[in-house]
Amino acid sequence: NQAVLKKAGLEQYFPDWEKVDLVQTSITIFEEIVCLHKQNILLGCLDLTSIRIVNSKTIFFTETDKYQIDDFPCLLRNTQFIPPERLDYIDKIFLFSEKTENYVAAVLAFTLMMPGIMPYAQRNSGDMLINIKRMQFPYAFRENHSKGVPNGFWRFVWSHLYYDLKEAFYKTFQYGEEKSTPESRYDTGFWLSKLKKYRDALLSGEYCKNDSYSAMMFPDTFRKVKNETYITCVNCKKEYPVWFMDDEFGTICKKCRSKKSESFFDCVDCGRRFFYSIKEEILHKVKNWKPQKHCDDCKKLVICKNCGKEYPAYLLRDGYCKTCKRKMYKMM
């Protein structure tokens, strides 16, 4: 019985799970939420750690005293589940409504399908509240390209996600889309129905017949699509679209090019050992470069204390360039 709605937790407590198990768990959770709604109980502002999972068909909600029951408000404030139109009132007491609850359901569905990440989390963007208010959804859909997808495996998980869910998430979380306003949001029943269709497609094998990676909770490559050319990376041996390969060396993927290779050099100045990246290793072989002598730290430009000119750090002695050092010796 663990709160495991993140990658590390899922891999630790349910190492044999595939995507269908995660989808079934999500269905179980949403079925319970539908029952709560029938009793006029709203989640209000959800805390994911209060959802406890035994298996894909047995879950428990804890800390239910924080839910909104009739006219007794929810006092919990988790900004990631507060809809954009309510963020300016986060410090005030207010009653959640069907409109706000529909937003909570959408965020929950997203973070269940993309375990541990929120819809407005972005790469190199520290202020989540600004992203939520502006409704800047970073994931690609159709002709709309991704922008700021968090580093890691998220782009691959999104790529393999059921099309109907990707479409619904994009329409809900992207500013100006048809389901992005409080009045137009999908309800809990909608998400439950889409999750059931996703489960059925996975169970039948239909969804994975062209790409077995789609059955995985955390695939590490993109879902294969028609009319796309794929190349096998010489390092990781996985297939990626042409556009995900290095621009200069089309045989290594963008994931591998910066990884550490087995080639190295020892800096002649500081004595430290440095390993080349895989791309640097290839460049040395292809262009017949000589082994590197100086590390980046020792090559940084430093100002000579005497003449004020800049030199690589390894050329200075006690802060002085060779010319100034020579003059100092002559004056002694």
Q: What is the pLDDT along the chain (332 residues), one digit of tens a residue?
A: 455 678 888 989 999 999 999 999 999 999 999 999 999 999 877 888 889 999 999 999 988 888 888 878 787 677 788 889 888 777 777 788 889 899 999 999 999 999 989 999 988 766 788 889 999 999 989 877 777 888 788 999 999 999 999 999 999 999 999 999 999 999 999 999 999 999 999 999 999 998 999 999 999 999 998 888 999 999 999 999 999 999 998 899 999 999 999 999 999 999 999 999 999 998 888 888 888 899 989 999 999 999 999 999 999 988 999 999 888 887 76
Nearest 5°: the CA angle 98, 33, 192 is 90
Question: What does the CA dihedral 88, 90, 96, 98 come to, rounded to 10 degrees?
Answer: 40
Question: CA 169, CA 167: separation in Å to the nearest integer?
Answer: 6
Question: CA 196, CA 201: separation in Å to the nearest integer?
Answer: 9
| Six-digit token string for 42 | 């709203």
Domain range annotation of the chain: 7-215, 229-292, 300-332
Enumerate residues 6+ apart whose C-beta is below 8 A from 155: 139, 146, 149, 222
Question: CA 265, CA 140: separation in Å to the nearest integer?
Answer: 41
Question: CA 24, CA 14: separation in Å to the nearest integer?
Answer: 13
Residue 211's nearest CA partner among 199, 225, 197 is 225
Residue 105's nearest CA partner among 179, 199, 33 is 33
Phi and psi at residue 189, to the nearest 5°: -60, -35
Tell me which of 3.40.50.300, 1.10.510.10, 1.10.150.130, 3.40.50.12160 is the CATH number of domain 7-215: 1.10.510.10
